[in-house]
Amino acid sequence: MKNILFSLLGTTLDKGFKENRWERWRPSVAVCQHEDLIIDEYYLLYPKKFLRLANKVANDIKIISPETEMKPHQMDFKDAWDFEEVYTVLLDFLEHFDFHKEEDNYLFNITTGTHVAQICIYLLTESRRFPGHILQTSPKRDATGSYSIIDLDLSKYDKIAARFAKELKDDISFLKSGIETKNKSFNELIERIELVALRTKAPILLTGPTGAGKSRLARRIFELKKQRAAIKGQFVEIDCGTIRGDAAMSALFGHKKGAFTGAVNDRPGLLKTADKGIVFLDEIGELGLEEQVMLLRSIEEKKFFSVGADKESESDFQLICGTNRNLQQRVKEGLFREDLLSRINLWTFNLPGLKNRPEDIEPNVDYELTRYAERTGDVIRFNKEARNAFLNFATSPEAKWDANFRDLNGAIIRLCTLALGGRITIDILNEEIIRLRSLWDTEKFYWKDDITERYSKLIDFEKFDLFDRIQLKGVLKVCNESKNLSDAGRKLFALSRLEKASSNDCDRLKKYLAKFNLTWDMI
């Protein structure tokens, strides 16, 4: 196997006068003066204006190392300190070189050249565009000096690899709030989120049921990036389900004084507040269509107009979104913009519900007990019988965990509050299990029962034609799932409202319900 060396001519270090050129350390020459390093082919890369020096160096190498075949190659940089130019010239040379990786050993001398050139050689070697190793030489007492060969394959360095592995493990544990979760798919999901979070500022979409931990995870991503100096700004959280119309526009984008009734002062808006930081839009599926238009532009251009402003504001924020909605379905219903979904759907991670992670209930119980102790100063523990009974119940099909970790957090708080003497007993636990069963049964009655049964006291469906019954039940179902009359109207008339210059969804819905002697308050 031949040793093939590439080296940039050292236009200063490689100079030598007739009377002392064998006494001075010249890096391009000295590399061939080591008995334990035989260079078979030597590509000396030189600028055109230093041809004479390149020839002198090549001739001296032939004298001290006759077995080395010299192959000078002209390589010019208009500006040897221009990173883009130097990298491009070196890359172009390497891409056109006929490498035989299985047959020959390649070295690139990083001792000579500008610091920019040295950085470029390092990057090209690390990315395997140069399929070899870096060679570094340094002077000593004699002209020969010393050399070392650097292999950038970090997998061969156990201590370094172990350090990276520990950092990765620490980051993953941080994102999980230190909870030693056991669910394999969830742990793999967090590993992927860690990888993405530290390497991109692109939008991240967290999906999953209510209470699955989207908000907490978004804040942990922010704190992790802050620790690594990946961001400088603040974490700003917005619940999109609580803002509508002018209030939403003002909250997100800010407003100028006098822009609308009640705007008595300038307001920067939450996107501006999050400059150089992270904005977490929780329940983004509830955001109005007008706000979605402006949000899309602010993501793409990092610019937006505050309400009432004639000058654009700028904010370089990273966006994290959370939703328990099926946004694809919302797009089909005309309630969510397809272009906005495409923009925020680059990195989507679905957080599973607690019921889908039964093996993680026990470590989360311990985590909630620790949090309670930190908040109150009271250390509460289960006795053995109660702990086993709670875990058996919590992991059984009977446990619904409809609100996921919110249900678990609430259960632990109630158990701890009632635990006299710092111990949760079986009697206290049995009382809590009854309470949880009642909670889940109540939710089933109010939110999941059949529409006919739910509204049978308000209306006799059998009095109407099948056509009207089907339509009315659909309307009532939408009303049942909506926050208010306006929200229901927007959903029901999502397409037809786009064809009107101005729409009054509330009035249309009121008139429809009135045909059946119904009002919003009755529903």
Structure tokens at 200: 């991109």
What is the fold, at CATH topology level, of the domain defined by 161-350?
Rossmann fold (3.40.50)
371, exposed or middle or buried, with CB in 10 Å at 0-12, 13-18, 19+? middle
Long-range CB contact pairs, 18-22, < 8 A, 24+: 21/60, 22/143
Q: What is the pLDDT of residue 140?
A: 79
Which contiguous run of DSSP H or E holds residue 473? helix 466-480
pLDDT at 337 over 60: yes
Same fold, 161-350 and 357-448: no
Question: 154 and 160 in contact (C-beta within 8 Å)?
Answer: yes
What is the fold, at CATH topology level, of the domain defined by 357-448?
Helicase, Ruva Protein; domain 3 (1.10.8)
Q: Closest Cα to residue 423, out of 378, 393, 389, 388? A: 378
Q: What is the pLDDT of residue 318?
A: 94
**Residues belonging to the chain:** 523
Which contiguous run of DSSP H or E holds residue 186? helix 184-197
514, exposed or middle or buried, with CB in 10 Å at 0-12, 13-18, 19+? exposed
Q: Which residues make Cβ contacts (< 8 Å) with residue 57, sequence separation at least 6?
A: 9, 14, 26, 28, 29, 44
Residue 303: CB atoms within 10 A of its CB come to 11
Average pLDDT over the chain reads 88
Buried b / exposed e along 221-259 (16+ C-beta atoms within 10 A): bbebbbeeeebebbbbbbebeebbeeebbbbbbbbbeeb
Q: Which residues pair with 306 in a beta bridge?
A: none
3-state secondary structure string, 5-59?
A: EEEECCCCCCCCCCCCCCCCCCHHHHCCCCCCCCCCEEEEEECHHHHHHHHHHHH
Q: Average of pLDDT values for 161-190?
A: 83
Cα–Cα–Cα angle for 431, 213, 237, nearest 5°?
A: 125
According to DSSP, residue 356 is labeled G
Question: 160 and 168 in contact (C-beta within 8 Å)?
Answer: no
Question: Tell me: the pLDDT tens digits for 87-110?
Answer: 999 999 999 999 998 889 999 999
Q: What is the pLDDT of residue 77?
A: 92
Q: Closest Cα to residue 325, out of 281, 288, 284? A: 284
Question: 210 and 407 in contact (C-beta within 8 Å)?
Answer: no
Q: What is the pLDDT of residue 364?
A: 95
* Amino acid letter, residue 106: Y
Q: What is the pLDDT of residue 42?
A: 95
CATH 3.30.70.2500 fits 2-152, yes or no: no
Q: What percent of the chain has pLDDT over 70?
A: 93
pLDDT at 245 over 80: no
Rounded to 5 degrees, φ, ψ at 243 are -125, 140
Question: 380 and 428 in contact (C-beta within 8 Å)?
Answer: no
Number of H helices, E strands in the chain: 20, 16
Q: What is the pTM of this model?
A: 0.60
Q: Closest Cα to residue 389, out of 431, 331, 336? A: 431
Q: What is the pLDDT of residue 171?
A: 83
Weakest-pLDDT range from 11-20, 46-55, 145-154: 11-20
Residue 129: CB atoms within 10 A of its CB come to 12
Q: Domain spans of the chain?
A: 2-152, 161-350, 357-448, 455-514
pLDDT at 231 over 70: yes
> CA torsion angle for 218, 223, 228, 232 (degrees, to 10)?
90
Q: Average of pLDDT values for 323-333?
A: 92
> How far apart (Å, rounded) are the C-alpha atoms in residues 68 and 60?
11
pLDDT at 170 over 70: yes
Which residue shows structure tokens 């999941």? Answer: 448
Q: Average of pLDDT values for 248-268?
A: 81
Instruction: End-to-end CA distance of the chain: give it in Å, rounded.
Output: 84
Question: Tell me: the pLDDT tens digits for 35-82?
Answer: 899 999 999 999 999 999 999 999 999 999 999 999 999 999 999 999
Question: 355 and 248 in contact (C-beta within 8 Å)?
Answer: no
Q: What is the pLDDT of residue 436?
A: 92
